[in-house]
């Protein structure tokens, strides 16, 4: 896959763009003023592999709380600012590694300039976050609504504004909840600028529908080489956003992390409770962060073939299953012991990897 060239920007110790791996980010949904709750959530996100985290900064108290959050935050911390430029200045004072602003609602050139100057002094990148739901009125009137062209023009306006101030540490996002609009907007902008793109479908919905929309929208762009960092937006626990983010990247072969589970859909040949087995395997191996391919197959037709391509796998029979490792059968277990046997084998592989 040929990835689009983008200028690198650095947030804390993480590079976005410039050929760096596509990063997975998320946003906390705690009250940012509650430092303990926010840090607890950040640590849960980090355990899932989150690489950049954004927090909402709705008032000065939240902006000040960032200082303590930053002190306990092991990954780059981005402050999400709307309307009040003073919040951006306070967030920078507190040590934010990145800012997300919509320069259109910050209140005029001078205020944007104040933010840019402070960000420049601290070498902090700014994400221009265009959202189809909050486009400028003149663009909505000219384009007849939040079209991809209207979104791109809004982004270009803000990009030019920052460029006129000599600032190029920029990332851009063009989020819409309508997937075809979002895809087209990113495609159009990707041809016109070299800034790294933060890709996401906004207000994508609950875990189930949001996962599908995000996989289609983000996945389509990544498959074309567009996108440097992704955020899956889900109504629910943000930890799920990180899991889905990695699942999208793994599906495209862009990142590897944790278990890549291959399981068959089951059919009339299946003689074991494969759904239960697959769910249990997924659950019991969810803590693994090393890349490992695990196959859970229902029968002897495709089972041995798939299982033999995986690091470890099982192929079901009638009331029993075969355990494979690296293409070789290493055991035959009754159905009730199969998951235990598989998990033991995975633990063994991980131990061997750690000691090698
Ligand atoms: Fe059916 Fe076997 Fe294929 Fe699973 S692997 S869907 S049980 S034929």
Ligand 1 atom 7 nearest Cα: 298
329 lines ligand 1 (CB under 6 A): no
Say what the pLDDT of residue 1 is: 79
Q: Whose CA is closest to 52, among 69, 86, 88, 77?
A: 77
- Out of 268, 298, 306, 321, give the residue to mutate to test ligand 1, the one with the largest number of ligand atoms within 8 Å of its CB: 298
Task: Provide the phi-psi class of 319: left if phi over 0, else alpha when psi is between -120 and 50, else beta.
Answer: left
> Looking at domain 259-355, what is its CATH homologous superfamily?
Sulfite Reductase Hemoprotein, domain 1 (3.30.413.10)
For 190, residues 6+ apart whose C-beta sits below 8 A from its C-beta are 4, 197, 226
Question: Ligand 1 center to residue 343 CA distance, Å?
Answer: 22
| 299 has binding-site annotation | yes
**ipTM at complex level:** 0.99
Tell me if 104 CB under 6 Å of ligand 1. Answer: no
321 in contact with ligand 1, CB cutoff 6 A:
no
**HEC assignment per residue over 32-89:** CCCHHHHHHHHHHHHHCCCCEEEEECCCHHHHHHHHHHHHCCCCCEEEECCCCHHHHH
What confidence tens digit (pLDDT) does each residue in 306-335 have?
767 789 999 998 989 999 998 888 999 999
Q: How far is the CA of 345 from the centre of ligand 1 (A)?
A: 23
Tell me, using a 6 A CB cutoff, whether residue 318 lines ligand 1. Answer: no
Please work out whether the CB of residue 305 comes within 6 Å of at least one atom of ligand 1. Answer: no
Is the Cβ–Cβ distance between 99 and 123 less than 8 Å? no
Backbone angles phi, psi at 52, to 5 degrees: -145, 135
Asked whether 8 and 170 are in contact (CB, 8 A), the reply is no
Query: What's the pLDDT score for residue 326?
Result: 87
Q: Look up residue 337 and give its DSSP letter.
A: G
| Domain locations along the chain | 9-251, 259-355
Q: What's the CA-to-centroid distance between 269 and ligand 1, angstroms? A: 6
What are phi and psi for residue 141, nearest 5 degrees? Answer: -70, -45
Alpha carbon of 184 to ligand 1 centroid (Å): 39
Tens of pLDDT along the chain (356 residues) come to: 799 999 999 999 999 999 999 999 999 999 999 999 999 999 999 999 999 999 999 999 999 999 999 999 999 999 999 989 999 999 999 999 999 998 678 878 899 999 999 999 999 999 999 999 889 999 999 999 999 999 999 999 999 999 999 999 999 999 999 999 999 999 999 999 999 999 999 987 899 999 999 999 999 999 999 999 999 999 999 999 999 999 999 999 999 999 999 999 999 989 899 999 999 999 999 899 999 999 999 987 776 677 677 899 999 989 899 999 988 889 999 999 999 999 999 999 999 988 87
CA-nearest residue for atom 1, ligand 1, is 267
Residue written as tokens 């409770």? 273
- Ligand 1 atom nearest the C-alpha of 315 is 5
Q: Is 267 in the pocket of ligand 1 (CB under 6 A)?
A: yes
Ligand 1 neighbourhood includes 265 CB (under 6 angstroms): yes
- Is 264 annotated as a binding-site member? yes
Architecture of domain 9-251: Alpha-Beta Barrel (3.20)
Determine whether the annotation assigns residue 267 to a binding site.
yes
Probe residue for ligand 1, chosen from 261, 262, 263, 266 as the CB with the greatest number of ligand atoms within 8 Å = 266
Strand ranges (E), the chain:
9-11, 14-16, 23-27, 52-56, 77-80, 98-101, 126-131, 170-175, 198-199, 229-231, 259-263, 292-297, 312-316, 320-325, 328-334
pLDDT of 15 reads 98
Same topology between domain 9-251 and domain 259-355: no
Tokens 């062209």 correspond to 149
């Amino acid at each position: 896959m040929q990835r689009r060239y983008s200028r690198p920007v650095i947030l804390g110790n993480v590079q976005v763009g410039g050929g760096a791996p596509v990063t997975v980010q998320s946003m906390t949904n705690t009250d940012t003023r509650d430092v303990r709750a926010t840090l607890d959530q950040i640590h849960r996100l980090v355990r899932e592999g989150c690489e950049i985290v954004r927090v909402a900064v709705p008032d000065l108290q939240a902006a000040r709380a960032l200082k303590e959050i930053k002190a306990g935050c092991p990954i780059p911390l981005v402050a999400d600012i709307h309307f009040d430029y003073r919040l951006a200045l306070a967030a920078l004072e507190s040590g934010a590694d990145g800012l997300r602003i919509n320069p259109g609602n910050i209140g005029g050139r001078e205020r944007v300039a104040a933010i840019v100057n402070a960000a420049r002094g601290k070498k902090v990148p700014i994400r221009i976050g265009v959202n189809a739901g909050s486009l400028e009125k003149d663009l909505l009137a000219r384009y007849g609504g939040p079209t991809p062209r209207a979104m791109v023009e809004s982004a270009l306006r803000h990009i030019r504004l920052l460029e006129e101030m000599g600032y190029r540490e920029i990332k851009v996002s063009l989020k819409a909840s309508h997937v075809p609009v979002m895809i087209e907007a990113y495609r159009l902008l990707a041809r016109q600028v070299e800034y790294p793109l933060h890709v996401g479908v906004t207000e994508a919905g609950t875990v189930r529908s949001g996962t599908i929309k995000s996989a289609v929208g983000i996945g389509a762009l990544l498959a074309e080489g567009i996108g440097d960092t992704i955020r899956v937006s889900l109504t629910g626990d943000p930890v799920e956003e990180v899991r889905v983010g990695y699942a999208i990247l793994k599906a495209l072969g862009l990142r590897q992390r944790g278990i890549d589970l291959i399981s068959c859909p089951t059919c009339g040949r299946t003689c074991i409770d494969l759904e239960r087995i697959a769910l249990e395997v997924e659950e019991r191996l969810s803590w693994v962060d090393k890349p490992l391919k695990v196959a859970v197959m229902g029968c002897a037709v495709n089972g041995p073939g798939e299982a033999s391509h995986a690091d470890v796998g099982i192929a079901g029979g009638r009331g029993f299953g075969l355990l494979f490792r690296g293409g070789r059968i290493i055991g035959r277990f009754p159905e009730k012991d199969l998951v235990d046997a598989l998990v033991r084998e995975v633990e063994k592989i991980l131990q061997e990897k750690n000691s090698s």
